[in-house]
Chain A
Amino acid sequence: MDQAQNYEMFLDDLYTKEDLVKLLDDIKIASELSFKTDSTEGKNLPKEFLAKLLELEKKGLFPSTVSQQARFFQELENFIRKQKTVRIVFAFEPSKSFLKRVRDYLSEGKSERIFLDLTVDPEIMGGFVLDNQGVYHDYSLVGELNKAVEDKNFLKSLMVKVK
């Protein structure tokens, strides 16, 4: 089995860059635990993370020696750091289900996972601003309004509506 596939399972249910950062913290704690025998720090690790490690161990995919474990965590960390992020600005704090929908929409037709680097900026009023690996798209309400105002026929259409 390809080691990358083992690492992939740690990314399930993660959608944002913040989630990745949290996962990196967990990996750091877990790798430090490998060298300790009577530590209580393991309690700080989330259950989901521990469950995934347990699952790997059951399958015989989690290394048994300390040095191999250290290498496993190091490689896992490198794998996570390589994940691609997309900067996205919302006008509001989105729910997890909404983020999942956005993430799924953006990664449609792509072989690799995408994680959202989220920023909340109420000034954009609505919609979102996207920066995908340097390619910038403004789908915000403010952007749309600006474009409409720049349109020569905008004032005319307003006048018609007033009439």
Chain B
Amino acid sequence: MKTFKEYLEANHEIGYIQSIVHSIVYVSGLPGARPRELVVAEGGQRGIVQALLPDLVEVLMLDTHDLRNNLSVARTTESFTIPVSEGILGRVVDPFGSPLDGAGPVIGEKELRSVDPPAPPISSRVKINRSMETGVQIVDLLVPLGYGQRELVIGDKKTGKTIFLLQTIVSQAAKGVVCVYVSIGKRQNDIKAVQQYLWGWSGATVNCVIVAANSAEAASKIWLAPFSGFAIAEYFRDKGRDVLIVFDDLVNHAKFYREISLLSKRTPGRSSYPGDIFNLHASMLERAGQIKTDKGVVSITALPVAESFEGDITGYIQTNLMSITDGHIFFDIERFRSGARPAINHALSVSRVGNQTKTSLDKELAQKLREALARYEKDKAIARFGVDLPEQTKEEIDLGEKIELLLNQDTETLIPRFLSLTIMGLLLGGFWKQKKVSQVKVDLIKLLQKFKEGKFSHLPEKIAAVKTLDELTEVVKTEQERVKEALYE
């Protein structure tokens, strides 16, 4: 980046700070300034032009140190950029791309990427047709995702949203997908916990980057974080790699944007948010998607998070994000309290484009599971009255309980597709029909342990060839003896 003097000599435009309101400054002069343009103050402080007023330019300062009245400001005729290189993988950086992890400078040949480029045009977009595994069974089976999809993750505080996202990141990073985790206005402790979880997995360190703006930073820096995250994601996408980006969370981002807007005296709208809050998030998330480039078909999958309060998903920002994205995964506080992990309510979750990436087997299985779970919920309500239940209802409740149990998953376990299909194949094939739920739980733990030990290495190939649910149960039946052997001997 050039210095203030160099920009001044090149562009011949100068302004002077007339007033300072936190991170917003009002500058006189700068006759040719344009919205979103980067400006530089005499002390090197950077700012982004937010609005053009009749006599003044409203600038959102990204560096808020040593600002004073009458400080000179120069135009740059550039948009704000951050330096990105391959060396950023495995690092924790701030929204300016500077390292925060104390591991020295980010190495590699740096490319300056604009934080706010236009979204890919319609002509370059490709239908979402590749399935994206999260490693979390309930999502992969019932709310499937595809590469290039924008799926909202919504739920109350402490319902396991972040851990689900981290599992997804680890699962994808192991497949070579670049994962960008953007922490927006969270506590430093939370960022540390995310870093510790991710760096604990071998694939994550080489394919992940954390962009963090903690709650103590200036509002402008926190506001910038998701844009910087996207700039990093686009760098890797343009290199021909699939990217997964997580925004944790955008309700927080909206709150910081509201703070900035109220300071700049913009007319507040619903819940005091500015009128352009929808546009801000929609235009940003529009940068995700699957596109064709000269390097082939590549994608940016975006998983924004929205925190809700007491299970209320009808908040302003939450509903905005729901309408922007291609579906949502709902973390239900009631399910969390009843012990479900992850506490995803599949009935209230939607994946608008994920289903089209699935095979007929996946669709058939999902339908079967959904029906069984719906019947189970209905039967459970009847069973509450303590009436004597018919045999069929008892069977339905038993199956539903077992499905729920099998869909439970701890934070350290990732279940690949073939294993997930095998487990469900065993269940639907009657492997656990005569067993109690508690025994199934023990079996599942053992099964996962054996899988980690590499006991079922022949299964992926076998399962990959299966086309229908009947075929799956048949194939799994032939494996039952081996499974029994692995479990009980």
Contacts and interface: CB of A to CB of B under 8 A. Distances in A.
B9 A131 contact: no
B178 interface: no
A21 to B, nearest CB: 15
Q: Which of B8, B28, B29, B30 has its CB near the most chain A CB atoms (within 10 A)?
A: B29
B13 interface: yes
A135 B29 CA distance: 8
B29 A134 contact: yes
A143 B5 CA distance: 11
Contacts of A135: 12-14, 31
A137 interface: yes
B15 interface: yes
Interface residues of B, number: 13
B136 to A, nearest CB: 55
Interface in B396-427: none
Interface string A125-156: 00000010111111000010000000000000
Contacts of B13: 134-136
Interface residues of A, number: 8
Contacts of B14: 131, 134-136
A134 B17 CA distance: 12
A75 to B, nearest CB: 20
A131 B11 CA distance: 12
Contacts of A138: 8-9
Contact of A133 (B9, B11, B31, B74): B31
A143 B10 CA distance: 12
A140 B30 CA distance: 21
Contacts of B9: 138, 143
B31 A136 contact: no
Nearest to A133: B31
Contacts of A143: 9
Q: Which of B8, B11, B12, B32 has its CB near the most chain A CB atoms (within 10 A)?
A: B12
Nearest to B15: A134
Nearest to B9: A138
Nearest to B32: A134
Interface string B27-55: 01111100000000000000000000000
A72 B380 CA distance: 85
A85 to B, nearest CB: 10
B28 A134 contact: yes
A137 B12 CA distance: 6
A136 B28 CA distance: 13
A127 B30 CA distance: 23
A131 B74 CA distance: 12
Contacts of A137: 12
Nearest to A146: B9
B157 to A, nearest CB: 48
B8 A134 contact: no
Contacts of B15: 134
A136 B14 CA distance: 6
Contacts of A136: 8, 11-14, 74
Contacts of A131: 14, 29
15 contacts: A131-B14, A133-B29, A134-B13, A134-B28, A134-B30, A134-B31, A134-B32, A135-B12, A135-B14, A135-B31, A136-B8, A136-B12, A137-B12, A138-B9, A143-B9
A-B pairs, top 8 by smallest CB distance, nearest first, are A134-B29, A136-B14, A134-B31, A136-B12, A134-B30, A131-B14, A134-B13, A134-B15
